[in-house]
Amino acid sequence: MKKRLIACLLMALPCIGGIAHVWDELAILVRRNSDGTFTLEKESYLPISTYTNAVFFDFNNDGNLDLLIMGQGGDWNVSGDVKIVALYRNLGEENDYRFEKVANPGFFPYKDEGFYNPISVGDYNHDGYTDVVVMNYHEGRRVDLYLNYRGSGTFIHQEQQVFEGATNGSVMFGDLNNDGWLDIEFSGYSDRASTGIKTYINKRDGSFADETPANIYGAFQGQSTLADINGDGTLDIISTGNGDNWVCLASLFYNTVGMFRKKKATFWESVGPIRWLPTLMVTAGWIW
Ligand SMILES: [Ca+2]
Ligand SMILES: [Ca+2]
Ligand SMILES: [Ca+2]
Ligand SMILES: [Ca+2]
């Protein structure tokens, strides 16, 4: 079976049981066995990094899931350290599903400004190849869209598409207006506000337009996620993290847009802060 499932865990974990309270960087790849157990890949060739995000997707459409990882390289407490953004090609069944690093995939050499490494993947232009959007710091806070160039291993930064800059948050592809084209939502510490949030609608010509409703807000050092919370067929936003003066925020915004509804002012309906903050903060990352 060609599509044998491979699972990956990439984490920064404290070194438990060590002599001192030393943080150890760890990146591991595990392979699922036919009996449901997992085997550690002892030579996965993955770079050591911390606070790493990992996404599996098939960038070259050969039926084998490839791997994109983003994390902080080197010593985790060195300010300004370079981020790792690395793409690995799955070599397939004939090579026991090993991964090979793709040379120069085209991603910016991001720098550190916090521990968050948001990545999302999706085919935003309907050309059959999965594209990438990244939030991080490179000559300022940024959200960058990369076009998958025909599965070649090269991703082309779409410099004509400018998003509001943000870091320390999350970014997601998702079809917010149910027109069949992926839109982009992100929240984090933006150039405008600590509770920055943006929704960009896909204009179906390779560009995205800022159509952020005025009544929604995000958070930094947290995460916002798209999911159809109320089952009405539209993606809603659930957002957690910190706001001004380090106030913890957890908010749910129902998407009430109709497929052809244009009145942006009524795009979202906030239900305000909610009480399941502890659970959400666990999934968001930090617990204070
Ligand atoms: Ca592949
Ligand atoms: Ca594409
Ligand atoms: Ca859409
Ligand atoms: Ca919904």
Write out pLDDT tens, residues 24-42. 444 567 778 889 888 877 6
pLDDT in tens, 104-161: 999 998 886 777 889 999 999 999 999 999 999 888 999 999 999 999 999 999 999 9
Neighbours of 283 (CB within 10 A): 11
User: What is the CA(211)–ligand 3 centre distance, in A?
Assistant: 11
Q: What is the average pLDDT across 152-171?
A: 96
pLDDT of residue 8: 40
Compute the distance between CA of residue 231 and CA of residue 152 in angstroms, rounded to an integer. 38
At 3 the three-state DSSP class reads coil
Give the whole-number percent of the chain exceeding pLDDT 70: 74
User: What is the CA(175)–ligand 4 centre distance, in A?
Assistant: 11
Q: Is the pTM value of this prediction over 0.85?
A: no
Q: Contact, 184 vs 200, CB < 8 A?
A: yes
Compute the distance between CA of residue 268 and CA of residue 286 in angstroms, rounded to an integer. 27
Beta bridge partners of 223: 240
Higher pLDDT, 8 or 128: 128
The amino acid occupying position 169 is: G
pLDDT above 60: residue 17: no
pLDDT of residue 215: 81
User: What is the CA(195)–ligand 4 centre distance, in A?
Assistant: 22
pLDDT above 60: residue 2: no
Q: Which of 219, 209, 237, 123 is nearest to 173 (CA)?
A: 123
User: What is the CA(148)–ligand 1 centre distance, in A?
Assistant: 13
Compute the distance between CA of residue 160 and CA of residue 67 in angstroms, rounded to an integer. 27
pLDDT of residue 23: 42
Q: What is the average pLDDT across 214-234?
A: 87
User: What is the CA(276)–ligand 4 centre distance, in A?
Assistant: 19
pLDDT of residue 259: 40
Compute the distance between CA of residue 228 and CA of residue 215 in angstroms, rounded to an integer. 19
User: What is the CA(47)–ligand 4 centre distance, in A?
Assistant: 39
Compute the distance between CA of residue 241 and CA of residue 192 in angstroms, rounded to an integer. 17
pLDDT in tens, 52-76: 788 999 999 999 999 998 887 766 5
Higher pLDDT, 164 or 254: 164
Neighbours of 115 (CB within 10 A): 16
Q: Ligand 3 (ion): which residues have CB within 5 A?
A: 175, 177, 179, 181, 183, 202
Q: What is the average pLDDT across 178-185?
A: 95
Higher pLDDT, 166 or 28: 166
pLDDT above 90: residue 286: no
User: What is the CA(208)–ligand 4 centre distance, in A?
Assistant: 22
User: What is the CA(213)–ligand 4 centre distance, in A?
Assistant: 16
Higher pLDDT, 265 or 206: 206
Q: What is the average pLDDT across 44-49?
A: 68
Both tokens of 8, joined, read: 């990956």
Q: What is the average pLDDT across 211-224?
A: 88
Q: What is the mean pLDDT of the chain?
A: 79
pLDDT of residue 202: 97
